[in-house]
Structure 1
Amino acid sequence: MSTFVVFDLEFTSWPGALEEDWSGPGQLREIVQIGALRLREDFSIVEEYEVLVRPVANPKLSAFFTDLTGIKQEAVDQNGLPPAAALGDFLGFCQDQTVLSYGNDMVVLGENVGWARFRGEEIKNSILSADFLNIRPWLNTHAPKTAAANSGRLWQALGLPQPMAGKEHSALFDCYSIAAALRHLCGAGATLPEGCL
């Protein structure tokens, strides 16, 4: 049975950064957490993936980011991987898979790969070894009430049970929320876009 990956990122942020598209001085979208699920065609979970990443340009997390995600500075300092190591490991998890995100997370992933390479760091595994797809337009078309929901609130927008313990803006929780939404819509007769499986 073939598999595919759903992933989500948490990246550095500050008050107003989203509204201003991270255009403030020094506001880079540096990845701090990667979450992913490898799923079978029936949406059963094969494997979970979760890692913390130490940002380089902004190593001190903003209070805004910590309040939003619950990710504490101490956790990143003690358990976070260097960006190149985390990115290479995650790209290995995604190799030869279709990889779905709810939004432009693949763009942020590409930015972080580019910055690491610019710093002269080697990244094992290529971003080109997987097929990345933004599933948000498909999902919003099949369930218009999800259009205003972030990835961690999709389960609520669709009236589904909470998919796991936790809360939105935790990358792995958000993956479970995306997977629950996909399972629900496909169970109601929708078909994932061609090439997803």
Structure 2
Amino acid sequence: MHYIVFDLEFNQDFSSFQEQNTIIKRSKYPFEIIQIGAIKLDLDFNTIAIFNRYVKPTIYSKVNSFITELTGITTEQLLIQEPFFEVYNAYIEFIGNTESIFCIWGMSDIKELFRSVDYYKLDPNPLPKMFINLQPYASKHLNISEKKLLGLQNAIEMLNIPITYNFHNALYDAYYTAEIFKKIYTSSIQPKLYDPSYIKIRPIQRKKQIDYDSLIQQFRKMYGRDMTEEEQEIIKLAYKMGKTHQFLK
């Protein structure tokens, strides 16, 4: 059995769609994966293989300037790479046939990986079915509320793991995630089954109604008199407009 510790870098630039549509349905398009980095560990946490591939874009024709500034990845660098389906096949070969567990920092990477596989109509079956999200376990290890999820760099610093590479590089971030895994691992860290079709159902919140009678009564107390009908309408309108936050500076 192996652990596949992986990280992704994404791009999204709607101004550079390769597909020319009159109306762009943005929710249809995933964040485009432009780098996959992974470390394969055995059960004793020894590194037995490394994967690092950049991806030629096919959805967006250029890398967003913010992404370039963050990751150092440029459009020119990616144009000479292979497209996603080629890199995905190489990634599957890297993972191999041995039973494996994905290890990730946060849920976004695994979600976008499966989303991209679905978008390109590729076979997701060779991917590991089980995963460990190390982010909440790191918070627990550091005696921080599991609801307070740390960024990767903050966790590395708090765990006193040496910083030897830049962050926001898929391979280096996978390396740091692997180092965290080694540092915090206990038998209580158990993998979970990943279901890419799962959608979290949020509870329906009861629509709140404004108690205008109490609102007007408060103004009566403030001014020591009854409010005219015109004043009451102005108060109600001002309250509604204030709730939209449109006049905040």
Bin of the TM-score, shorter chain as denominator length: 0.7 to 0.9
* Counterparts of residues 76-155 of structure 1 (less than 5 Å): 76-78=78-80, 80-95=81-96, 96-104=99-107, 105-117=109-121, 123=122, 126-133=124-131, 134-144=133-143, 147-155=148-156
Query: Which stretches in structure 1 are left out of the alignment for 5+ residues?
Result: 15-22, 118-122
Question: CA–CA distance in 1 between the matches of 2:90 and 2:104?
Answer: 18
Structure whose CA Rg is larger: 2
CA change 1:116–1:127 in 2 (3 A) is same
Out of 173, 187, 200, which is 1:191 matched to? 187
Equivalent residue pairs, number: 175
Out of 12, 37, 40, which is 1:38 matched to? 40
- Where does residue 57 of structure 2 map in the other structure? 55
SS for the counterpart of 2:67 is: helix
Query: Which stretches in structure 2 are left out of the alignment for 5+ residues?
Result: 14-24, 193-249
SS for the counterpart of 2:162 is: coil
SS for the counterpart of 2:120 is: helix
Question: CA–CA distance in 1 between the matches of 2:157 and 2:37?
Answer: 20
SS for the counterpart of 1:168 is: coil
Which aligned segments of 4 or more residues in structure 1 are displaced greater than 4 angstroms? 23-27, 144-148
Q: Which has the higher contact order (CA 8 A, sep 6+)?
A: 1
Question: What is the TM-score of this pair, normalised by structure 2?
Answer: 0.62
CA change 1:131–1:192 in 2 (3 A) is farther
Question: What is the TM-score of this pair, normalised by structure 1?
Answer: 0.77
Residue 191 of structure 1 aligns with an amino acid whose one-letter code is S
Residue 85 of structure 1 aligns with an amino acid whose one-letter code is E
CA change 1:193–1:27 in 2 (3 A) is same
